[in-house]
Amino acid sequence: MCESFETYEEAEKDLAERKKLAYKRIEEEGGTIVSDGSFIGTSFLDGKSFQSFLMIWTQSMIDDITKFKGFDYDQYNEEIKKLEENEKTNKKSISKNEE
């Protein structure tokens, strides 16, 4: 959710309240906060209003990210080659059956 505010102070108040609720929820769930990069920025739409951004990282988020396996392009390319070979074989079989 992104809401715009007329003044920096309004955005600051909103961010403080949202952080308070987020910290409480994380604590109740037994989580550990490892980083808080929350900030207030100027709206890119009009350059005059302000927006608050909540950016809290928990240990469970970091753990999930470290378990993520990147995309294996070599394996992908091998699978594509197999599919293309199967397609060629299937086309040959179909043309032999039609004769």
* Tokens of residue 76, six digits: 């992908």
User: What per-residue confidence (pLDDT) applies to 45?
Assistant: 78
pTM for this model (two decimals): 0.62
Average pLDDT over residues 5-32: 95
Bridge-based pairing state of the strands 33-36 and 4-5: unpaired
Domain ranges of the chain: 1-68, 70-99
Dump strand ranges (E) for 2-94: 4-5, 33-36, 39-42, 50-53, 56-58
User: What per-residue confidence (pLDDT) applies to 49?
Assistant: 92
pLDDT of residue 1 exceeding 60, the answer is no
More confident residue, 18 or 94: 18
All residues at 6 or more sequence positions from 45 whose CB lies less than 8 Å from its CB, including other chains? 4
